[in-house]
Structure 1
Amino acid sequence: MSGSRNIDYLAGYSAELQQQVTQLIDAGKLPDYLRQRYQGGHGVSNSKSLYQYTLTLKNTHLKKSAPLSKVEYDDRIDVIHNALGLHTHISRVQGNKLRAKKEIRIASLFKQTPEPFLRMIVVHELAHIREKEHNRAFYNLCQYMEPDYHQLELDLRLYLTCLERFGPIY
């Protein structure tokens, strides 16, 4: 593939898959493919509802994990950090005790994506509560919380490619 046809979000995938995506892009069919697979929109449009959404997933799958101090949409994530979500662990000494806070920030672009993409990124950030690295245990935990995790990750990468090439589709 030439530089202009490079598909950055799919760099880790097989050449065959990248070729299939390139064909969809060249034919202008990638937006239709995604619209057919995923209906647009969800009701998680502000940080308060995102916190409740995340807490529900956490309480379902990670009951014994440390509580979350904050979950919010962040307009600056994709620009500053080149990421889709962030998890932070902040430890502070208060008197003779160590207090830990866990926060999750999700890129604001997920306000306009289909719900499965939001769920995938929230599951990804929740998995970091237990597993810091992207290792086998991390991905096993992601699949435990979301059995279609790997398919959703691929489709999210397709969505980001589509967004870059064709603009918003929902």
Structure 2
Amino acid sequence: MKTNYISHYPINVQAQVQQMIDQDRLGLFLLAKYPTAHRVANDKELREYVLGLKNRYLKKSNPLSKVVYDNKIHVINNALGLHSYVSRVQGGKLKSKNEIRISSVFKKAPLAFLSMIVVHELAHLKEKEHGKAFYQLCEHMLPDYFQLEFDMRLYLIQLDLGGAIYS
């Protein structure tokens, strides 16, 4: 069973997904719902996209020093993107840097999935832990956050099955 990305969902949901896999319909389901991949092709465009969302929802949060696609993030380890916060003393002053790194797997994914991951990482600017306030902030920025997270997990299953569906 290739449903490891949805193992914490109810058994009946996992069974429905397994049925789509067995009938080779998962990719078709995703393509019907998300027919195209986004066009945020490089780090510069990703930074612009992320800053647009940040400026819309989190204007007063700390600035981002780096926003990049990262080939080293392994989705298998449950990381789709990473937010890092680094503090250093530099010349007697405390400097902090916020960085967002998005797995390169999402260079060829629907914009909705990229948005979900970016919103998740931006939410960490205000809420460090995955608690109620964190997910409320995610939903504020992206009202269908939870559905998109589920669908994105289906996309990861599809990729594991060897079926890239966007070129």
Same fold (TM over 0.5): yes
Task: Indicate the SS of the match to 2:35.
Answer: coil
Q: CA deviation at 1:95?
A: 2.3
From 128, 134, 140, give the equivalent of 2:130. Answer: 134
From 58, 64, 76, give the equivalent of 1:62. Answer: 58
Indicate if the aligned counterparts of 2:75 and 2:103 stay in contact, CA closer than 8 A.
no
Q: Percent identity of the aligned residues?
A: 56
Gaps of 5+ in 1: none
Q: CA deviation at 1:134?
A: 0.7
From 142, 160, 163, give the equivalent of 1:164. Answer: 160
**What is the alpha-carbon distance in structure 2 between the residues aligned to residue 84 and residue 44 of structure 1?**
16
Q: Which residue of 2 aligns with 1:51?
A: 47
Q: Is residue 2:70 matched to residue 1:74?
A: yes
Indicate if the aligned counterparts of 2:81 and 2:100 stay in contact, CA closer than 8 A.
yes
Gaps of 5+ in 2: none
Task: Indicate the SS of the match to 2:83.
Answer: strand
The residue identity in structure 2 corresponding to 1:120 is M
Task: Indicate the SS of the match to 1:103.
Answer: strand
Task: Indicate the SS of the match to 1:39.
Answer: coil
Task: Indicate the SS of the match to 1:93.
Answer: strand
Query: Which runs of at least 4 in structure 1 moved beyond 3 Å after TM superposition?
Result: 79-82
Q: CA deviation at 1:41?
A: 1.6
Task: Indicate the SS of the match to 2:161.
Answer: helix
Q: Which residue of 2 aligns with 1:112?
A: 108
| Pair 82,136 (structure 1): closer, same or farther in 2 beyond 3 Å | closer
Q: CA deviation at 1:83?
A: 1.3
Indicate if the aligned counterparts of 1:91 and 1:100 stay in contact, CA closer than 8 A.
yes
Q: Which residue of 1 aligns with 2:37?
A: 41
**What is the alpha-carbon distance in structure 1 between the residues aligned to residue 10 and residue 77 of structure 2?**
26
**What is the alpha-carbon distance in structure 2 between the residues aligned to residue 82 and residue 123 of structure 1?**
16
Aligned-pair Cα RMSD in Å: 1.3
Indicate if the aligned counterparts of 2:26 and 2:158 stay in contact, CA closer than 8 A.
yes
From 12, 17, 24, give the equivalent of 1:21. Answer: 17
Q: Which residue of 1 aligns with 2:83?
A: 87
What is the number of equivalent residue pairs in this alignment? Answer: 166
- State the Cα deviation string for residues 51-86 of structure 1 (Å, max 9, x = none): 000000000000100000000000111179551100
- State the Cα deviation string for residues 91-141 of structure 1 (Å, max 9, x = none): 111222111100000000111001000000000000011111111111000
| Pair 9,131 (structure 1): closer, same or farther in 2 beyond 3 Å | same
Indicate if the aligned counterparts of 2:61 and 2:126 stay in contact, CA closer than 8 A.
yes
Q: Which residue of 2 aligns with 1:7?
A: 3
